[in-house]
Amino acid sequence: MEVAFSPKPYYVVYEGKRMGQCSSQCMKKEELEEYEVHPFRDRICKVFSTDGYFTFEDILGMASVFSDLACPIIKIEYAFHLYDFNEDGFIDEEDLQNFFRRLLNGKNLSEEEIVSLAHSVLEEADTDKDKMLSLLEFEYAITKSPDFLQ
């Protein structure tokens, strides 16, 4: 079965309450619980599900990406979609601020620190200086610092 990355992003609205109404082919709510504490849970649901539901294929796709055996490039491409909060195909400074706000939630970082962190990451990774990270720039940055994906 083809479970490789599809470049077509899913523009679906995720409704958490629908999760419990899935048919038997869908993932049960309990099976998703390990993702509930994930700071990007809503993005994971959005990127991987179809119309807010998890079909069997969606779950296979998600499992294949989160698997240790998954090709790093596929993981990076999914991460790119997860972190592209405004879904414009690039990761800009606002996306990065969103990312750090979620990732460092509860770490008592001030808004200024988040903004400056996002700015310095963008500065470093934005090789063509257009103030946005393309998939290629993102891949390159991740490859240099694999911890970023964790």
Residues in contact with Ca ion by CB under 5 A are 84, 86, 88, 90, 95, 126, 128, 130, 132, 137
Residue number with CB closer to Ca ion (34 or 94) = 94
Shortest Cβ distance from residue 104 to Ca ion (Å)?
A: 19
Shortest Cβ distance from residue 85 to Ca ion (Å)?
A: 6
Residue holding tokens 């599900």? 49
* CA gap 31, 99 in Å, rounded: 25
Determine the residue type at 32: L
Closest CA to 19 of 33, 9, 6: 33
Residue number with CB closer to Ca ion (28 or 119) = 119
| 3-state SS track over 38-53 | CCCHHHHHHHHCECCE
Residue number with CB closer to Ca ion (21 or 127) = 127
Q: Is 102 helix (H, G, I), strand (E, B) or coil?
A: helix
Residue number with CB closer to Ca ion (58 or 126) = 126
Shortest Cβ distance from residue 128 to Ca ion (Å)?
A: 4
Shortest Cβ distance from residue 139 to Ca ion (Å)?
A: 12
